Amino acid sequence: MDASFVAYNDGQMLINLNGEHRPIAFYQARLRKVLRDAFPDDVFYFQPSDIITQILNFGTIAQIDVQVSGRHDADDLAVARDLVRRISAVRGAVDVHLHQIVDAPQMSVNVDRRLASEMGVSEQSIAQNMNVSLSGSFQVSPNFWADPKSGMPYQLWVQTPEWRNADIDQLMNTPVSVHATGHDRPGIPILLSNIATMQRQPEQTVINHVNQQPTLDILANVQNTDLGSVRNAVDGIVADAQARLPAPDKILVRGQIESMEGAFARIEIGLGIALVAVYLLLVLNYQTWVDPFVVIAALPLAFCGIVMSLFITGTAFSIPALFGAIMSVGVASANSILLVTFAKEHREATGCSAREAALMAGHTRLRPVLMTASAMFLGLIPMAIGSGEGAEQNAALARAVMGGIGMGTLSTLLFVPLLYTLLRHNPIKPLEDY
């Protein structure tokens, strides 16, 4: 069993889907409703089934793991239960539960040590007799019997039948061995009820620690919405709960939220560095600051196309979508470079105006731009549909690229020539042979 197995009353179900099936999220949503209605007193939750989600969760068994750590057990438990209640009300948050079972029933034997000492009974003797009665003697002193005919060894157990320990009164009648004073031989056994009482109380079945601090985990998954919107709601709830925790106890949010924030920050930095690097390389190529700006000016509309395509298809921003944005930036930049380079060379060769050069560039480079964009756009349609096993993982990338290419191509053919005409209105001197 993995780390989610916290008690003997837990169970796991592994389900294999046939080759022709809907996305896994569809079946999870149906099972959540059916199981909740059929077993309202039980807790059901889904663990990540694919290796990609398991890696993104960074070892946790759910997309969101809110950890309450500290030494004030009662206050931490009260805050953890309040977090479960409030996060369960967040739109899109499902499978919200407290990972640790804190109220499992337990029977505690309270020994009267003074009376037990007077009778010659030790705590170890009481525990050993209870263990033999409930779990069998093999737990304390393993014993084997070898069959003389076959030579096969068999385990020998001494244990009280379960039907004789059906209630507390029968448990209290468990005999406890007493050692006679001054002798090695055992004395007369006494009943457990003569020297001890039994009390029922709740007990935490699993105790987790983070940096040596006792920790409670509130686990949750996301359904029918994006992780970012749930993250925003959880952050507000956590900030409010942190203010009610005594110092130095603290609340941490782990899982995919932690990895998502780090990945988005790194990709945004990488995207910014890529734009600056492309601009500087174009400056070196054109030997001017204006023409590279015209090329880069097509990219904002490409980003608008990415946002529009994700909005129309109901796809959330994700790491694959950002990868698609980087790909569409490359295609839009390449198409803009075709137009600007042709217009610049045409002006230098003929000495015409910027407007005439822009129109000629659009007319001449129309076919290469459309062929490049359409080939990539049509090739990504099967991936964008997301049909097939595991295809939904890459659908966001294809949809982002298609939106960026579509709007970026329109920007290249319409906006870039207009901007070139406005910024290059000064006359140019044709190149001369020396």
CA angle centred on 55, ends 51 and 57, rounded to 5°: 115
CATH 3.30.70.1440 residue ranges of the chain are 24-102+206-256
Task: Give the whole-angstrom CA distance, residue 237 versus residue 152.
Answer: 63
Length of the chain: 434
Task: Give the whole-angstrom CA distance, residue 252 versus residue 214.
Answer: 13
Helix axes 73-88 and 227-243, enclosed angle (nearest 10):
150
**The CATH number of 288-423 is which of 1.10.10.10, 3.10.20.30, 1.20.1640.10, 3.90.1300.10?**
1.20.1640.10
Mean pLDDT, the chain, rounded, equals 82
What is the arithmetic mean of pLDDT over 289-298? 84
Quick one: 109 exposed, middle or buried, by C-beta within 10 A (0-12, 13-18, 19+)? middle
What confidence tier does 322 reach under pLDDT thresholds 50, 70, 90?
Answer: confident
pLDDT at 234 over 50: yes
> Which pLDDT does position 86 carry in this prediction?
93
Tens of pLDDT along 243-262? 888 888 899 888 888 778 88
Neighbours of 225 (CB within 10 A): 15
What confidence tier does 1 reach under pLDDT thresholds 50, 70, 90?
Answer: very low
Q: What is the pTM of this model?
A: 0.67
Give how far Cα 218 sits from Cα of 25, 60, 194, 280, 353, Å.
21, 11, 44, 48, 67
Task: Give the whole-angstrom CA distance, residue 46 versus residue 149.
Answer: 52
From the list 127, 125, 113, the residue with the least C-alpha distance to 195 is 113
Tens of pLDDT along 166-180? 888 888 888 888 865
Tokens of 164: 């004789």
pLDDT at 9 over 90: no
Strand partners, 133: none
> Which pLDDT does position 82 carry in this prediction?
92
pLDDT at 422 over 90: no
Tokens of 91: 């739109």
Answer whether 346's CB lies under 8 Å from 361's CB: yes
Task: Give the whole-angstrom CA distance, residue 289 versus residue 281.
Answer: 11
pLDDT at 83 over 90: yes
CATH 1.20.1640.10 residue ranges of the chain are 288-423
Task: Find the range with the poorest average confidence among 227-236, 264-273, 323-332, 380-389.
Answer: 380-389
pLDDT at 206 over 60: yes
**The CATH number of 24-102+206-256 is which of 3.30.450.20, 3.30.70.1440, 2.60.120.10, 3.90.650.10?**
3.30.70.1440
Task: Find the range with the poorest average confidence among 36-45, 62-71, 94-103, 379-388.
Answer: 379-388
pLDDT at 337 over 80: yes
Neighbours of 63 (CB within 10 A): 26
pLDDT at 431 over 60: no
* φ, ψ (nearest 5 deg) of residue 67: -105, 125
> Which pLDDT does position 432 carry in this prediction?
60
Answer whether 45's CB lies under 8 Å from 62's CB: yes
pLDDT at 2 over 60: no
What is the arithmetic mean of pLDDT over 14-36? 82
Quick one: 8 exposed, middle or buried, by C-beta within 10 A (0-12, 13-18, 19+)? exposed
pLDDT at 413 over 80: yes
**The CATH number of 104-203 is which of 3.30.360.10, 3.30.40.10, 3.30.2090.10, 3.10.100.10?**
3.30.2090.10
